């Protein structure tokens, strides 16, 4: 008789560094998985990928046994690694923080191809390029000029927005000043004269 899958759990753990401590322990503990056994198996399976973040899909069965499947590292992680940056741009595509080459893009796409919804490396490159663009990483020869132009436009728009906000603050200050001036009510003066 086949084992019944009770739970499917997805985790992203640094390769070779799984420990029973949180976050692994807090997720797998309630599922009844033997934490020591999982950590040992995971660390052995990912020893060759040390330093990378490895997504893992764990199937927990009704008898508390488990299987896991390793996926390829997230595209964002691979892009940051190749571009040598700690994190993506805070302003997305409006601020270019790094540039990668087409060959580096192809390398990332080939690595990610098994886990992407793409059949060819070229399609995978488009997907990874979109991820890079949203992180503020330009691809040399593909979209670097376009992103630089977009960044200039965004900067001009920010200056215009700051100018509008300054004008609005000035108008609000004038309105508050006008509101503080006492204005006599006409109807009350007529009543007092009678």
CATH (domain of 122): 1.10.10.250
Do residue 61 and residue 79 come from a single domain? no
Q: Tell me whether residue 39 is in a domain.
A: yes
Do residue 50 and residue 96 come from a single domain? no
Q: Angle, to 10 degrees, between the axis of helix 102-112 and the axis of helix 75-83? A: 150
Domain boundary (42, 70, 98) is at 70
pLDDT of residue 188: 58
The pTM of the full predicted model, rounded to 2 decimals, is 0.63
What are the tens digits of pLDDT across the range 9-54?
A: 888 888 888 888 888 888 888 888 888 888 888 888 888 888 888 8
Query: In which domain, by residue range, is 109 found?
Result: 74-179
Domain boundary (70, 96, 127) is at 70
Do residue 115 and residue 64 come from a single domain? no
Do residue 148 and residue 55 come from a single domain? no
Average model confidence (pLDDT) for the chain? 81
Q: Tell me whether residue 140 is in a domain.
A: yes
Answer yes or no: is pLDDT of 58 > 80: yes
- Please name every residue paired with 56 in a beta bridge, in sequence order, or none if there are none: 11, 70
- Please name every residue paired with 100 in a beta bridge, in sequence order, or none if there are none: 139
Distance CA 144, CA 135 (A): 13
Token pair for residue 120?
């060819």
Residue 151 pLDDT level (bands cut at 50, 70, 90): low
Give the position of tokens 């807090």: 26
Burial 46-76 (b: 16+ CB within 10 A, else e): beeeeebbbbbebebbeeeebebeeebbbbb
């Amino acid at each position: 008789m086949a084992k019944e899958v009770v739970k499917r759990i997805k985790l992203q753990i640094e390769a070779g560094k799984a420990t029973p401590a949180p976050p692994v322990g807090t997720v797998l503990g309630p599922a009844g998985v033997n934490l020591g056994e999982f950590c040992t198996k995971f660390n052995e399976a990912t020893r060759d990928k040390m330093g990378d973040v490895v997504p893992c899909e764990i199937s927990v069965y009704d008898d508390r046994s488990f299987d896991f499947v390793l996926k390829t590292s997230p595209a964002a992680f691979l892009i940051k690694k190749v571009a040598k940056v700690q994190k993506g741009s805070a302003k997305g595509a409006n601020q270019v923080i790094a540039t990668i080459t087409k060959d580096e893009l192809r390398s990332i796409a080939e690595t990610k191809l098994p886990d992407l919804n793409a059949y060819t490396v070229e399609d995978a490159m488009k997907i990874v390029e979109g991820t890079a663009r949203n992180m503020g990483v330009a691809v040399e020869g593909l979209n670097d000029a376009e992103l630089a132009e977009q960044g200039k436009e965004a900067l001009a728009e920010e200056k215009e927005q700051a100018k509008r906000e300054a004008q609005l603050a000035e108008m609000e200050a004038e309105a508050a000043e006008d509101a503080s001036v006492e204005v006599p009510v006409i109807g009350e003066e007529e009543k007092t004269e009678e």
